[in-house]
Chain A
Amino acid sequence: MRPLTLSRLLLQCLILAIILFCVMVLALKFGAIHVSLYGLGRDLLRVFLGKSSDISSEYSLILNLRLPRILLGAFVGAALSVAGTSFQALLRNPLADPYVLGVSSGAAVGAILALLLEPHLALTPEFAAVFTPLGAFLGAAVAITAVYFLGHRNGQIDSSTLLLGGVIIASLLSALIVLLLTTLPSSNFRGMAYWLMGELSAVPSQPLAWVLRVGFVVAAIVIYTTASDLNLLLAGEKEAMHLGVDVRRVRIIAYIAASALTGLAVSVSGAVGYVGLLIPHLMRMIYGADHRILIPASAFGGAIAVVIADILARTIAAPNELPVGAITAIAGAPLFIYLLRRRFA
């Protein structure tokens, strides 16, 4: 018997953090402008030491343009993976993921509605900054509530009904998105269509960036406080209840927090698919199904995956860029099919 200890958890997180750091440095290096690792390291150190004025213009460009995008990718990956991990435990379905369940589409509809409404409302700048993520969060929350009720049969969650419910909600919402997009001026259409595929080129403004950071940290911590309850929920709600889990409280907390994470990620990156499905699975294979380690591992894993996907998106068809969501979908869809066949074989 070797139960999880705090020191083992911190060690694993440290290892993953180092991998993430290395991947981020590589992501800084690759792109249209070529830079050396040595130069990058030197200038990063200067930034950390507060000597930003000594940085050469080439590297300054990299740090100002590439770094925020990479950080955004890491944030989106972490948020979607943690949301996916939570949905899989809450719905007792290893195929649950914000994208597959239509939660990302719900967030997208919410975000588009917020974008359409914003010019017509006299919002203060502070509120305007949170308006889109708020819309996305509400959209995500409505979608997961609908899927949850569609997936219920005789008071129990039914796996296949749930997935079908997700597919139906997602297709309904996609139609709604197309309808909303046609109301946009044509110049915005391509940008929006790209955004829907999942992309990281629109780096959020400062107030929005703060909303994302604070929102992510709060929602992730809230989910993490339910980690050991989620372990027991995997065995079913009744069983968890008999082991002392306040099932209703955990469910509400984790659904809201996971919807918030999805909403935040979608509001800045569109629908980056399959990250929330693929990464929790990979991490579960490595670290096991204990959510006390699975949640932080998924956060790091998701961040690493999206940063790598973004490197590919920027370099495969350079100088053109692919949406990062296309890369994650190409990698994720075959895995989804594999899992589906294995589960229902």
Chain B
Amino acid sequence: MTAGVKSAARGAGESTRISNDPRLSVEQVSYAYTPNPQQAPVFTLEATSFQAKAGEIVAVLGPNASGKSTLLQIISGALQPLSGRVLLNGFVTHQLEPRARGRRIAMVQQESQLLFPSKAWEFVLQGRHPYGKSLRFESDEDVTIAQNALAQVGAEHLADRWMDQISGGEKQRVILARALAQQPLLLLLDEPTLHLDIGAQIDLLETLRRLAAENRYTVVVVTHELNLAGEYADQVVLLQKGKCLRVGPPASVYRRDLLEQVFQTQLTVETGASGRPRVSILPGAQ
């Protein structure tokens, strides 16, 4: 990939982009976490690469401590990779100035901690921060964008509610709305379904799929939900202990022997009614 694609990405305006251009290009990124410089790294992420187009959903899968969140942080530009780089429309993400990064990349974290309660609309308006100078007051346009963001996730009715008084699923919608208010190119989600019931999980992923199609977001989602990822993702990145084992469409990555080896349990992989792979744990496998 390469220079050709890169220059095309830089040259083309966002609206005129050719849809098959890889918008996100993760190129051989690696990382090592060392709490003490004199000691060996306690965690490493080995060279990982994949590409994603506008409108695509990429799921990052793997057992605990496989480096999923680290990879997501590197893609977001918050962590500088030890080697390699992440390009978003031709820009190296960790070299972007913070506000410029906030206008291109939005992150939905596992949970958003609130020190002091705020109303949902105040929370969503925070997504407009990268578009203003330090002391700016929100414009009517910002308010409209925030309202639209809430509407897109079906949460208009929550606007005047306090964030600490709504359910987990509702909160996740508002957090997603804040990310949409950033009007990003790249939407990153770190285990967004963690505290949600199955109905709310499906709801969230349906919303993500619709948003990715409508707004042409590139979505990268870290998750433990193999079946949801298999159903909704266009591509899957499978990690184990900091190694990238396989990248590709779910049907090509969801191989029984591979998943059994990664997740250390016996399972079956079938093709569901939608034509996508479905994983079941074998009874008594543990």
Interface residues, chain A, with chain B CB atoms under 8 Å away: 1, 3-6, 9, 92, 94, 224-229, 231-232, 234-236, 238-239, 241-247, 284, 288-290, 292
Measured CA separation A234–B147 after assembly (Å): 23
Contact flag A225-B98 (CB < 8 Å), given A232-B129, A235-B114: no
Q: Are A243 and B109 in contact (CB under 8 A)?
A: no
Q: Are A235 and B101 in contact (CB under 8 A)?
A: no
A92: nearest chain-B partner, CB-CB: B115
Q: Are B143 and A229 in contact (CB under 8 A)?
A: no
A235: nearest chain-B partner, CB-CB: B112
Which of B97, B121, B122, B138 is most buried by chain A, counting CB atoms within 10 A of its CB?
Answer: B122
Q: B105-127 CB contact bits vs A (8 Å, 1 = yes)?
A: 11101001111111001100111
B98: nearest chain-A partner, CB-CB: A246
Q: Are A243 and B135 in contact (CB under 8 A)?
A: no
Q: Are A292 and B135 in contact (CB under 8 A)?
A: yes
B: interface residue count bin: 35 or more
The answer to the question of B102 belonging to the interface, with a C-beta cut-off of 8 Å to chain A, is yes
Q: Are A244 and B114 in contact (CB under 8 A)?
A: no
Query: CB < 8 Å: which of B112, B129, B143 contacts A244?
Result: B129
Measured CA separation A239–B175 after assembly (Å): 11
Q: B152-172 CB contact bits vs A (8 Å, 1 = yes)?
A: 000000010000000000000
- A-side contacts of B143, CB under 8 Å: 1, 3
Q: Are A238 and B115 in contact (CB under 8 A)?
A: no
A234: nearest chain-B partner, CB-CB: B115
- A-side contacts of B137, CB under 8 Å: 3-6, 9, 292
Query: CB < 8 Å: which of A1, A225, A288 contacts B147?
Result: A1
- B-side contacts of A224, CB under 8 Å: 135
Min CB gap A344→B, angstroms: 14
The answer to the question of B10 belonging to the interface, with a C-beta cut-off of 8 Å to chain A, is no
- B-side contacts of A6, CB under 8 Å: 137
Q: B241-267 CB contact bits vs A (8 Å, 1 = yes)?
A: 000000000000000000000000000
The answer to the question of B56 belonging to the interface, with a C-beta cut-off of 8 Å to chain A, is no
Contact flag A243-B115 (CB < 8 Å), given A3-B125, A227-B134, A290-B122: no
Measured CA separation A6–B99 after assembly (Å): 23
The 7 A-B pairs at the shortest CB distance, nearest first, are namely A244-B102, A244-B130, A289-B116, A242-B107, A3-B138, A244-B99, A1-B121
Query: CB < 8 Å: which of A92, A94, A242 contacts B76?
Result: A242
Q: Are B127 and A227 in contact (CB under 8 A)?
A: no
The answer to the question of B68 belonging to the interface, with a C-beta cut-off of 8 Å to chain A, is no
Query: CB < 8 Å: which of B102, B115, B135 contacts A235?
Result: B115
- B-side contacts of A292, CB under 8 Å: 135, 137
Min CB gap B100→A, angstroms: 8
The answer to the question of B222 belonging to the interface, with a C-beta cut-off of 8 Å to chain A, is no
Q: Are B134 and A235 in contact (CB under 8 A)?
A: no
